[in-house]
């Protein structure tokens, strides 16, 4: 039986809905540091223990799964505390905020190999992206162009403005980079990043709010990615996958599959796959619970999560150094 604790009641409540009553799972406790919010939670979830004290929460021996959806800066310590309490861990992206933290998390998980660990990389459960992945011919793909059009500018001015190491790469790009790595079944070899803050420079958000990256994958497959936190555009994950004789496109105009007909003539087919497909987002967490209960492997390996985080850290380092960097993954 799963007895879960949730940290944070923003997106954490989506974790709650994914976990509670799924197979043999119950959410038994929520940690919410905001006292006003905690009070409201007590009224809404009468059967769930609501706590505001982190010490009480992470020492609760009744828990065997902890799902972390606090602000980014708390993830690192809370992952270590969850492992110390012998709990499986779900953590929102980003897992942590720098490479030294990532190494410590990796070491702690290696010392406790029975603990299952996953980060909530929800795009992998999206019907549209699954369909495209299934159609990709890895021998023929040469370029992927993906943009995370965030369309939620105001969110930059809440906790994200106060978090010291907050980065748009770790907050947004990570989702589309994960999508591309999953589709290409490989990790990038190098990265170069360019950014600006033209739209936010007079605001309290002091980091870059637009970023463009070139990730080079094995066999010189190029991924051009963009993360745009300030765009005047609905929240959207744009994707174009280019292969020798076929192109897949998803943008605001729709979803298209283009095939070469004769010469420079093309056959364009409209597709109608589910997007944003929010109902399937629960599946990532629920498959993780399946892996715990059925004692099987998780859908996303620990290694692929560490590698994804490492690639993001190198992207930010490339931005700081102003040059292309080879990515050295953790051994």
Ligand X SMILES: NC(=O)c1ccc[n+]([C@@H]2O[C@H](COP(=O)([O-])OP(=O)(O)OC[C@H]3O[C@@H](n4cnc5c(N)ncnc54)[C@H](O)[C@@H]3O)[C@@H](O)[C@H]2O)c1
Binding site for ligand X (CB under 6 A): 7-11, 31-34, 37, 54, 69-72, 74, 92-93, 120, 122, 159, 171
Cα 279 to Cα 288: distance, rounded to the nearest angstrom: 16
- Of the pair 125, 307, the CB lying nearest ligand X is at 125
Contact 144, 183 (CB under 8 A): yes
Q: How far is the CB of 123 from ligand X (least distance, A)?
A: 8
Q: How far is the CB of 88 from ligand X (least distance, A)?
A: 18
Cα 134 to Cα 132: distance, rounded to the nearest angstrom: 5
**Chain centre distance of CA 295:** 24
- Of the pair 244, 278, the CB lying nearest ligand X is at 278
- Of the pair 101, 243, the CB lying nearest ligand X is at 101
Cα 105 to Cα 140: distance, rounded to the nearest angstrom: 37
Q: How far is the CB of 107 from ligand X (least distance, A)?
A: 22
- Of the pair 30, 132, the CB lying nearest ligand X is at 30
Q: Is the peptide bond before 309 cis (omega within 30 degrees of 0)?
A: no
Q: How far is the CB of 185 from ligand X (least distance, A)?
A: 22
- Of the pair 8, 188, the CB lying nearest ligand X is at 8
Question: Using CB atoms, what's the residue nearest to ligand X?
Answer: 10
Tell me how crowded residue 18 is: count the other CB atoms within 10 A of its CB: 22
Pairing of strands 49-51, 117-119: unpaired
Q: Which of 205, 180, 206, 207 is nearest to 191 (CA)?
A: 180
């Amino acid at each position: 039986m799963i007895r879960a604790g949730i940290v944070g009641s923003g997106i954490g409540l989506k974790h709650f809905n994914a976990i509670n009553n799924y197979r043999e799972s119950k959410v038994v406790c929520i940690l919410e540091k905001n006292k006003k919010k905690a009070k409201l939670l007590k009224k809404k979830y009468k059967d769930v223990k609501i706590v505001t004290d982190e010490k009480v929460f992470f020492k609760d021996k009744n828990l065997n799964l902890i799902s972390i959806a606090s602000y980014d800066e708390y993830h690192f310590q809370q992952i270590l505390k969850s492992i110390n309490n012998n709990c499986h861990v779900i953590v929102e992206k980003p897992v942590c905020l720098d490479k030294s933290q990532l190494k410590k998390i990796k070491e702690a998980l290696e010392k406790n190999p029975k603990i299952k660990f996953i980060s909530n990389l929800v795009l992998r459960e999206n019907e549209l992206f699954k369909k495209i992945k299934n159609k990709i011919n890895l021998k023929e793909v040469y370029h992927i162009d993906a943009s995370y059009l965030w369309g939620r500018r105001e969110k930059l001015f809440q906790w994200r403005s106060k978090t010291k190491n907050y980065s748009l790469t770790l907050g947004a790009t990570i989702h589309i980079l994960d999508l591309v790595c999953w589709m290409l079944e490989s990790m990038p070899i190098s990265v170069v990043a360019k950014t600006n803050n033209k739209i936010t420079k007079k605001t309290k958000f002091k980091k870059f709010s637009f970023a463009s990256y070139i990730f080079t994958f094995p066999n010189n497959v190029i991924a051009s990615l963009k993360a745009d936190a300030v765009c005047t555009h609905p929240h959207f994950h744009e994707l174009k996958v280019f292969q020798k004789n076929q192109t897949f496109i998803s943008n605001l105009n729709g979803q298209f599959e283009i095939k070469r007909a004769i010469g420079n003539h093309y056959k364009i087919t409209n597709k109608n796959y589910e997007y944003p497909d929010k109902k399937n987002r629960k599946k990532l967490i629920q498959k993780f619970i399946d892996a715990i209960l059925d004692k099987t492997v998780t859908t996303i390996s620990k290694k692929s999560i560490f590698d994804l985080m490492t690639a993001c850290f190198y992207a930010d380092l490339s931005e700081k150094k102003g040059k292309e960097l080879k990515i050295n993954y953790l051994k």
